[in-house]
């Protein structure tokens, strides 16, 4: 169930604010009843919604992979005027939203969708959607220190779940290490905090994979629809394979 004005905006009827005014003006009907109150929730898949007597067009469900660059806010707008992920999707008629987030100083793979059920399940712990990050540390952590992360380490918001960690290289000259870490939690700045906790701050961080989806062959700032095969597999892994 979603707020009526949100459904109208997603259907391309008007902006959210203009849709609210349409409701207040009595121009919107839901199941043959005029709605004049804001906050009414509807099911866009089942309810019959009319604007000025005409049915709205249901928004096509779309899911994208997006290579978020550094210095971009994972939000649809920013009061400080910084660039947001929404700026890259201005030519997409559907209003898609980010699934989860990537920090301003982190680049990499982000899923954008207007399918609320997909977004909800991808972020739900039950489905343990794994996320893999490539990072470079300041200093070279020892294996026993990385083992603390592999086992789960206590942060200020609790103990992390066990992580998968692979060292790609150790550079004694630059005093840094390149590491790939896979987690399935989504705590704020989790990877950076994990490495700070063992005394090796992260210099560069990129998310390279979510589940089976990877950044392969994508450029910074680029997005693309999931292929039919990818969508089929994603729906299967999220328990939505019978989704119409």
Share of residues in the chain with pLDDT > 90 (%): 77
The domain that contains 68 carries what CATH number? 3.30.70.580
Residue 242: inside a domain, yes or no? no
Q: Within a domain: residue 200? A: yes
Average pLDDT over residues 151-158: 96
Active site residues: 103
3-state DSSP assignment of residue 235: helix
CATH of the domain at 150: 3.30.70.1560
Q: Which of 56, 59, 40, 36 is nearest to 48 (CA)?
A: 56
| H helices present in the chain, as ranges | 4-10, 16-24, 116-123, 143-151, 190-197, 228-237
Do 92 and 156 lie in one domain? The reply is no
Residue 45: give its domain's CATH number.
3.10.290.10
Give the per-residue pLDDT at 13.
85
Q: Please tell me whether residues 200 and 232 are part of one structural domain.
A: no
User: If you average pLDDT over every residue of the chain, what do you get?
Assistant: 93
Same domain membership, residue 193 and residue 150: yes
Residue 157, pLDDT above cutoff 80: yes
> How far is C-alpha 176 from the chain's CA centre?
30
The SS3 assignment for 146 reads helix
Closest CA to 60 of 122, 123, 12, 2: 12
Report the C-alpha gap between 44 and 163 in whole angstroms. Answer: 39
Residue 98 located in a structural domain: yes
Q: Please give the Cα distance from 127 to 232 (Å, whole number).
A: 16
Listed range (12-16, 103-107, 201-205) with the worst mean pLDDT: 12-16
Same domain, 146 and 189: yes
What pLDDT was estimated at residue 44? 83
In a domain, 100, yes or no: yes
Domain span at residue 177 reads 130-210
Asked whether residue 74 is domain-assigned, the answer is yes
pLDDT at residue 11, as a whole number: 80
Residues 78 and 149 in one domain: no
47 and 68 belong to one structural domain: no
Mean pLDDT of 86-107: 92
What is the structure's pLDDT at 194? 98
User: Do residues 79 and 11 both lie within one domain?
Assistant: no
72/96 same-domain check: yes
- pLDDT grade, residue 93 (50/70/90)? confident
Neighbouring CB atoms inside 10 A of 57's CB total: 9
Please check whether residues 120 and 230 belong to one and the same domain: yes
In a domain, 26, yes or no: yes
pTM for the structure as a whole: 0.80
| Last residue in a domain, options 27, 55, 83 | 55
| Domain co-membership, 137 together with 203 | yes
pLDDT value at 243 more than 60: no
Burial 220-240 (b: 16+ CB within 10 A, else e): eeebeebeeebbebbbebbee
Same domain, residue pair 119 and 228: yes
Q: What is the total count of domains within the chain? A: 3
Collapsing DSSP states into helix, strand and coil, what is residue 214? strand
Whole-number pLDDT of residue 231:
96
Same domain, 205 and 138: yes
Q: Is residue 90 part of a domain?
A: yes
In a domain, 244, yes or no: no
What local confidence, expressed as pLDDT, does residue 25 receive? 96
pLDDT of residue 6: 84
């Amino acid at each position: 169930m979603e707020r009526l004005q949100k459904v109208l905006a997603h259907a391309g009827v008007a902006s959210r604010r203009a849709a609210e005014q349409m409701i207040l003006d009595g121009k919107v009907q839901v199941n043959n009843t005029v709605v004049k109150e804001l906050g009414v929730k509807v099911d866009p898949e089942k309810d019959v919604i009319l604007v000025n007597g005409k049915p709205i067009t249901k928004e096509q469900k779309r899911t994208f992979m997006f290579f978020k660059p550094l210095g971009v806010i994972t939000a649809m707008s920013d009061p400080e005027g910084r660039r947001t992920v929404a700026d890259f999707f201005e030519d997409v008629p559907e209003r898609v939203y980010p699934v989860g987030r990537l920090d301003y100083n982190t680049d990499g793979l982000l899923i954008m969708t207007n399918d609320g059920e997909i977004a909800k399940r991808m972020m739900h712990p039950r489905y343990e959607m794994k996320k893999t990050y490539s990072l470079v540390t300041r200093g070279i952590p020892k294996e026993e220190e990385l083992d603390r992360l592999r086992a789960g380490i206590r942060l200020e918001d609790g103990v992390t779940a066990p992580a998968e960690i692979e060292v790609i290289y150790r550079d004694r000259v630059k005093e840094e290490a390149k590491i790939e870490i896979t987690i399935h939690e989504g705590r704020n700045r989790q990877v950076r905090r994990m490495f700070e906790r063992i005394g090796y701050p992260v210099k560069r961080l990129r998310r390279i994979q979510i589940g089976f989806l990877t950044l392969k062959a994508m450029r910074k700032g680029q997005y693309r629809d999931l292929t039919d095969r990818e969508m089929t597999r994603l729906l299967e892994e999220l328990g939505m394979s019978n989704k119409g």
